[in-house]
Amino acid sequence: MAVRLGGNYAQYRFRPECTWVTGNNAGVLRSDGYGSCVGLVLYSGAPRRIGVVAHFSGSMQAPQVRADALEIMAAVCPIAPGRNWRGWVFGGVSLNGSSSFQTLSSNGSSFHRTKTLIDQVRAVLNFNRMFDVNYNIPGPEKYTLSTQGVLREMYLQPGNNYIGHQGVNLNLANGRVTWDDGDHSTKNSNSKKLINSMI
């Protein structure tokens, strides 16, 4: 069962579980500490401006990741058609070659496990027609997302675009996502932040 937390921070609690937070209209939802974990950001714009940030532990099993993603969507999605959501699915820094996360477990390397879990979340989004994640983005907006480097997380087909981020922030007032791509293992690292306007 996905664990809904109060507040605005989907904390990674070093357990095989999914934590998530939601809110609407104002404030910033966030999560960080993505090593071999998988993240999900959802946003539906005006008039309600609802957002979700979820953190799936990399030690979860694929069926549970899928079930928790379905549970989150059922909790926040309207039943009536007419409201489209945007979804971003991403992995942690293990996808970027971070040696500290490239460890072997009984289920294989964290690199391959993270990809498998990403595919589980993508499959759930791809199944729900309310999530207009990839195919119907208008041309100009698609170009903007591409130049900002944030369109890649929106592709749903397995085998494509496994992107790693350290953390994420979602501004509920304007739908702006900020990725934290910094290497926090060194004091001199700089965070590379990509901004996407989802109006």
Q: What is the DSSP string of the chain?
A: --EEPSSSB----SSSSEEEEEEESSSEEEEE--SS-EEEEEEE-TTT-EEEEEEE-TTS-HHHHHHHHHHHHHHHS-SSSS--BEEEEEE-GGGGT-GGG--EETTEEHHHHHHHHHHHHHHHHHH-TTB--STT--HHHHHHHHHHT-SGGG--STTS---B-SEEEEETTTTEEEEE---TTSTT----EEEE---
- What pTM, to 2 d.p., does this model score? 0.82
Whether 41 has a pLDDT exceeding 90, the answer reads yes
Band (121; pLDDT cuts 50, 70, 90): very high
Q: Please state, in angstroms and rounded to a whole number, the distance separating the CA atoms of residues 104 and 124.
A: 27
CB 53 within 8 A of CB 20: yes
4 compared with 105, residue with greater pLDDT = 4
Whether 38 has a pLDDT exceeding 50, the answer reads yes
What average pLDDT score do residues 145-167 get? 77
Band (100; pLDDT cuts 50, 70, 90): low
Band (154; pLDDT cuts 50, 70, 90): confident
> What total of structural domains would you count in the chain?
1
Give the CATH number, domain containing residue 104.
3.30.1330
* Phi-psi group of 8: left, alpha or beta (phi > 0 → left; psi -120 to 50 → alpha; rest → beta): alpha
44 compared with 106, residue with greater pLDDT = 44
| Host domain of residue 122 | 3-196
Pick from 46-55, 74-83, 170-179: least confident: 74-83
- Placement of tokens 């960080």 in the chain: 32
Average pLDDT over the chain, rounded to an integer: 79
Max mean pLDDT range (42-46, 53-57, 172-176): 53-57
Structure-block tokens of residue 142: 């698609």
Q: Please state, in angstroms and rounded to a whole number, the distance separating the CA atoms of residues 24 and 36.
A: 29
Residue 64: per-residue pLDDT: 97
Whether 180 has a pLDDT exceeding 90, the answer reads no
Q: Please state, in angstroms and rounded to a whole number, the distance separating the CA atoms of residues 3 and 12.
A: 11
* Phi-psi group of 97: left, alpha or beta (phi > 0 → left; psi -120 to 50 → alpha; rest → beta): left
Q: 169 forms bridges with which residues in the sheet?
A: 30, 178
Residue 79: per-residue pLDDT: 57
What average pLDDT score do residues 13-35 get? 94
